Amino acid sequence: MTPRVSGATTPLSEPEMIKLFAFVVVVALAVGLFIKNLSKFVKIAALGRPANLEETWGERIASLMTFFFGQRKVVEEKRSWHHLALYWGFLILQVGLLDMLITGLFGKFGFTLGTILGDTGHAWLKFFVDWGNAVVAVALIYAFFRRIVIRPTFVPVNLDAMLILSAISLIVLTHFGHHMFEMVYSGQMEDGVMVSYAFGSWLGMYSGPEWAASFPGGGSSGLLVDVDRHTAHTIAEIHWWGHMCVVLAFLNYLPFSKHIHVLGSGPNILLRRQGQRGIMPKLQLMPPEPDEDAEIDEDEEEEEPPIPWQNWGVGRIEDFDWKSLVDNYACTECARCTSYCPAFATQKPLSPMHLIHDLKDEMKARGALLVELEEAKGNLPMYEPDTGVEGFPEDFDEDSPAHRELPADANKDKITQIKQMLEELPPLVGGRVKDETLWACTTCGACQEVCPVFIEHPLKILQMRTRIVLNDEEGRTPGDVTRVIGNIADGQGNPWNDNSDRMAWAEGLEVPTIEDKPNAEWLLFVGCAGALDDGAKKTSQALVRVLHAAGVDFAVLGKQEKCTGDTLRRLGAEDKFQELAAEQVETFNEHGVTKVIATCPHCFHVIKNEYPQFGGDYEVVHHADLIARLLQEGKLKVENPLSKTMTYHDSCYLGRWNKVYDGPRASIEGALGAKGRFVELDRNREHGFCCGAGGGRMWVEEEKEKRVNVNRSQEIVEAGVDAVAVGCPFCKTMISDGMKHFDKDEDIEVLDIAQVIASTLPEAPAPASEEASAE
């Protein structure tokens, strides 16, 4: 549009009236269609269950500014920096779009953004929009080159991607075209549009002042025009209409493309679960116990409350909570999750990105049908209270408490058609998402850690696992999984089903039980591995020596100690976990436990973060962190520093899930002093690589060539170290097996941090390999 003085108005000519009317109609239709389409996607997400988000809005807005507008997670990956130019440039483009939209609707009546900002302020706005388009243009060139020539993994050359890139390209080109030809038509340089002015000059469309004169505040200067003004006006109008129509078409295409994340990522970041991560929610598997204090009417026959089958894991898209469904809309398909996934890296059938794709496809298929069913006044499918079988309320037996007839105004023909279409869809779990995909996950959290929009992949996987295990009447649960669940829940209370004395490891050591020392400051939770596994017993023994050396007041539960249940919960046996957790918390509370030392990150995570669900609130510390604290406070002294080259393997449940990184390293560096050398592995801290044992996979056999621990152990071997320190019994086992795989078990020691520190104490000998010690 021809620049006008802010506030100036002239009577509208007939062509201008027609143009304004046509533009109002186009905008109204496009916006109306967008709202209609978007409302459908919102309704699909609303099918999910309550999310129970309780965090403050202050934290949420700060998160939105940091991770959505600030793109902090994207900045962490250098290979994604070109996306920053596209993203921030695209945001600036939206300001330009708003300017053109307001001008198109109200400019003829004397109102533009210039009316609010003033001429100079408006010029500065156009300056940033113009340069924003230039930055996006450069980023687009690279994006096309990357997809067509470089062709990185997971960045395909598909129709959807090319349509989106082409649409943005047209938006940029029509922006420049409109401004260049408007300057030709008006014969005046437009204040602030430096890049557009430069392009027009280079193309020989006009000549005039130097390029710098178009800097904001320079005013408008006359131009010598070399193009017919009337032709220029027509072309400027074509570019203006092209710009607006492409933007409005782009807006309506977004919900149906992979770029729906443009709409979903902001809300997902704003509404993300904040605070501690990796916590599985407590499911209400049975009806609540009746209130003992409530008055009972003896004349009324009490009905047994129905079992809440909808809580027995996730088997349908609507079994997720609504926030989990919004996750799927937010996926940017950047493939970071898959690139960092240890299961995918070892050729297992799990790609976190494609899992989210599958869930999004399920939302489009089943979710869309359920929305149509609601609109037809139909009853949504549910689990029959007596049997747990999914069905429609109107189809249940009339004696069922869930039976409900269709309303009189229901579109029964439409409902019948939709029900048939729903029945023809494959099941979500075991159909669209294969069982083997779910069992491949180690729950290491690498996918969630790197996701720029905070998608919770592991929780989704565990919820679907729970559905398989709790509702398994067909033998779908893998044999290894069934065995270890039985060993813990119905056998000897540990994964090995070992009936050995849980205090045998402490023979010859001064290890008081809670009965011996009921007022001990700390409870040392030894764990199944620390009490029963030969390798982990050495960790327990070394830690006791360290605690005694530092004068720590502690006791153990002894034979009262049981498995924390981490393996049960991560493998889907939520019912067994709840029984075990409640029993263990009762034991803790009976003995007045307030502070707990855990040697296993999995025990640490569950006691610290999930036992509060059962009334168990304790101060929980991992032994590596406690040792670092004791060293810092001078309660523990390293007398014999080690002259070794040593590295550290981050446990996923200690590091990524609980952010314990510095304590273990401080302990190791304290043990090395000036004599030794600490080496970081390439994949460390939040980007550390899993050992392969998490999520219950410690107990699941896998193919030799697909072992995660071998992948990690190769990195340790290539680091050229004498020893690797760990802070987890599972990691110790897996890395030790990896050293044997490479025939390096005699050359590279695998030691728990407690063993490392214990070996520096005055009474301890220099550390030797565990196998040599065993001999």
Q: DSSP character for 13?
A: P
Is the pLDDT at 298 greater than 70, yes or no? no
Cβ neighbours of residue 572 closer than 8 Å, sequence gap 6 or more: 313, 462, 465, 466, 467, 468, 469, 470, 477, 481
Whole-number pLDDT of residue 294: 58
- 678 has which bridge partners? 646
Whole-number pLDDT of residue 349: 94
Q: Please, which pLDDT band fits residue 219 given cuts at 50, 70 and 90?
A: low
Residue type, 620: V
Whole-number pLDDT of residue 291: 64
User: How large is the greatest C-alpha to C-alpha distance in the chain, in angstroms?
Assistant: 102
pLDDT tens, residue by residue, 584-632: 999 999 999 999 999 999 999 999 999 999 999 999 999 999 999 999 9
Q: How far apart are alpha carbons 200 and 194 in whole angstroms?
A: 10
Q: How far apart are alpha carbons 42 and 313 in whole angstroms?
A: 23
- Poorest-confidence range of 128-142, 450-464, 562-576? 128-142
Q: Token match 């940033």: residue?
A: 128
pLDDT tens, residue by residue, 81-102: 777 887 888 788 888 888 888 8
Indicate the burial class of 213 (C-beta count within 10 angstroms; 0-12, 13-18, 19 or more). Answer: middle
- The runs of H, that is alpha helices, within 551-622 are 566-570, 574-590, 601-605
Give the chain's mean pLDDT: 90
CB 571 within 8 A of CB 485: yes
pLDDT tens, residue by residue, 406-460: 999 999 999 999 999 999 999 999 999 999 999 999 999 999 999 999 999 999 9
Percent of the chain with pLDDT over 90: 67
Six-digit token string for 181: 């030809």
Whole-number pLDDT of residue 300: 56
User: In terms of residues, how long is the chain?
Assistant: 775
Edge to edge, the sheet with strand 619-622 lists: 554-555, 522-525, 595-598, 619-622
Residue type, 595: K
Is the pLDDT at 144 greater than 90, yes or no? no
pLDDT tens, residue by residue, 510-552: 999 999 999 999 999 999 999 999 999 999 999 999 999 999 9
Q: How far apart are alpha carbons 613 and 609 in whole angstroms?
A: 8
Is the pLDDT at 774 greater than 60, yes or no? no
Q: DSSP character for 685?
A: G
Whole-number pLDDT of residue 10: 63
Strand, coil or helix: 524: strand
Six-digit token string for 565: 């249940």
pLDDT tens, residue by residue, 102-114: 887 787 777 777 7
Give the residue-averaged pLDDT of 707-733.
96
Q: Which residues of 454-489 are buried (b: 16+ CB within 10 A; e: fewer)?
A: bbbbbbbbbbbbbbbbbbeeeeebbebbbbbbebbb
Query: How many other C-beta atoms lie within 10 A of the C-beta of residue 705?
Result: 8
Give the residue-averaged pLDDT of 52-63.
85
Q: What is the four-CA torsion angle of 143, 145, 149, 155, rounded to 10 degrees?
A: 0
- The runs of H, that is alpha helices, within 203-295 are 229-253, 261-270
Q: How far apart are alpha carbons 136 and 769 in whole angstroms?
A: 58
Cβ neighbours of residue 326 closer than 8 Å, sequence gap 6 or more: 45, 264, 267, 268, 271
Strand, coil or helix: 701: coil
Q: Please, which pLDDT band fits residue 115 given cuts at 50, 70 and 90?
A: confident
Is the pLDDT at 704 greater than 80, yes or no? no
Whole-number pLDDT of residue 768: 46
Six-digit token string for 288: 């609540």
**Cα 647 to the center of its chain, rounded Å:** 28
Q: How far apart are alpha carbons 668 and 680 in whole angstroms?
A: 12
Whole-number pLDDT of residue 766: 45
Q: How far apart are alpha carbons 198 and 195 in whole angstroms?
A: 5
Of 332, 254, 432, the closest CA to residue 67 belongs to: 332
Q: Please, which pLDDT band fits residue 295 given cuts at 50, 70 and 90?
A: low
Give the residue-averaged pLDDT of 453-481.
94
Q: How far apart are alpha carbons 549 and 553 in whole angstroms?
A: 11
Is the pLDDT at 186 greater than 70, yes or no? yes
HEC assignment per residue over 177-207: HHHHHHHHHHCECCCCCHHHHHHHHHCCCEE
Is the pLDDT at 7 greater than 70, yes or no? no
Strands 390-391 and 382-383: antiparallel
CB 640 within 8 A of CB 760: yes
Higher pLDDT, 226 or 8: 226
Whole-number pLDDT of residue 483: 95
**Cα 502 to the center of its chain, rounded Å:** 38
pLDDT tens, residue by residue, 337-380: 999 999 999 999 999 999 999 999 999 999 999 999 999 999 99
Whole-number pLDDT of residue 99: 84
Give the residue-averaged pLDDT of 167-192.
91
Percent of the chain with pLDDT over 70: 95
> Could you please report the per-residue DSSP string of 335-394?
-HHHHH-HHHHTT-S--HHHHHHHHHHHIIIIIHHHHHHHHTTPPPPEE-TTT--EE-GG
Is the pLDDT at 754 greater than 50, yes or no? yes
Is the pLDDT at 773 greater than 80, yes or no? no
CB 638 within 8 A of CB 606: no
